[in-house]
A and B are shown apart, each in its own frame.
Chain A
Amino acid sequence: MSRRDPAPRSEFAEGAFKAVPVIISAGPFAILFGAVAVANGQTVAEATLMSAVVYAGASQLVGIELFGQHVPLWIVVLSILAVNFRHILYSAALTPLIDHFTLPQKLLSFFLLTDPQFAETLARGETGHTVTYRWYLGFGAVIYFPWVVMSAIGGLLGKIIGDPAVWGIDVLLPIYFMGLVLGFRRRSNFLLIVVVSGVVSVLAQHLVGAPWHISIGAIAGVALAALLPPKTEATTGEQAP
């Protein structure tokens, strides 16, 4: 099984290669973020700094949107917490796979823990690979650095891009997340969880409002999974679609 024990350098390259489609699809959002940030009153340097230290696209856009509406700072931070609450669940679910990293490696790994980083790391672990630090870092680096650079470019190009809808950019984010959802469709109770999370999040959006509908919908789906009778069928080791 030489495939499960590759040379360290090829692990980094393998991770990096895997991340190429991610940055191609996420790149427009970095540009979009930079453009929106500058339109809402951030400088290009601030937009770039935000991408470099927050590194969480959806919450960056939410934060900028609220900042543009002159919402108090603590509400902006609270909203970013609500959007990013899912990361608590991500890091919990990922812990068994990266527990063999050293502590500094873990601290850096958690900084890089985005939606695709989580999804692909889990997928790699479930196909029988040991998730190595080099693979994880290769995947993360190929997303992180272009993300920061493209945010800066987006800030500079902001005025040229104008309305994202004109370029069809607004449809890419939900489709991208939809693709991530489909990647988990062979798990137990998938359809039930998706339907409950979807319905509850839509209801919560109308009854409670954004960004709380993200946390409320997610908790509904996760609680349902915990309450359903445990299935005997294996939840790991299936073939990826």
Chain B
Amino acid sequence: MNTLFTPYMVVLIVAAAVATYLTRVGGYVLVKRLKTMPPRLEAALNAVPAAVLTTLVAPAFFAGSIDIKIAMVAALLVGLRFSAIPMLIAGWVVVMVLRQILV
């Protein structure tokens, strides 16, 4: 590898970093501008994690192949009783087994 960094890529990375950091302080700046928290805003903020994270899960499920779908359902069932690591292991085992069978 002769070149470590190309100027274009460094510009892209720095721009991406600045954009990301702005989103990470943005909510704090907004909340500080408001003196009191209206109940509906509080309800909205309360819904943020489930709403946002769902948008990372649902499209992956619908766009995924049948083995991904089955593995995600299996992981969901495991996740109703157990924590993240058993979920990941269950989903991974199911998808690997299915790929052996389906191929």
Contacts and interface: CB of A to CB of B under 8 A. Distances in A.
A143 interface: no
A84 B50 contact: no
Given A87-B24, A110-B25, A174 B30 contact: no
Interface stretch (A3-11, A131-139, A145-153, A192-200): A192-200
A207 interface: no
Interface in A106-146: 106-107, 110-111, 113, 115, 118-119, 122
Contacts of B6: 43, 46
Contacts of A158: none
21 contacts: A54-B13, A89-B52, A92-B27, A92-B28, A92-B45, A93-B46, A93-B48, A173-B56, A174-B61, A175-B91, A178-B75, A179-B79, A179-B84, A181-B49, A188-B43, A193-B54, A202-B59, A205-B63, A217-B55, A221-B54, A226-B43
Nearest to A219: B51
Given A24-B85, A43-B1, A53-B14, A95 B32 contact: yes
A42 B84 CA distance: 32
Interface string A42-60: 1111100110011110111
Nearest to B8: A73
A13 interface: no
A36 to B, nearest CB: 14
Nearest to B81: A241
Nearest to B74: A175
A193 B57 CA distance: 13
Contact of A171 (B20, B25, B91): B91
A199 B20 contact: no
Classify chain A: how many residues form its interface, as a range.
Answer: 35 or more
A89 B20 CA distance: 13
A227 B43 CA distance: 9
Contacts of B88: 25, 172, 175-176, 179
Interface in B54-103: 54-64, 67-68, 71-72, 75-76, 79-80, 83-85, 87-88, 91-92, 95-96, 99
Contact of A217 (B26, B58, B72, B83): B58
A159 interface: no
Nearest to A107: B25
Given A88-B30, A197-B55, A49 B25 contact: no
B24 A80 contact: no
Contact of A21 (B4, B61, B62, B83): B83
A200 to B, nearest CB: 8
Contacts of B67: 171
Interface in A11-50: 21, 24-25, 42-46, 49-50
Contact of B46 (A49, A179, A188): A188
A2 interface: no
Given A50-B13, A180-B49, A205-B59, A91 B25 contact: yes
Interface string B1-30: 101111011111111110111011111101
Given A85-B23, A172-B92, A217-B58, A189 B79 contact: no
A187 B3 contact: no
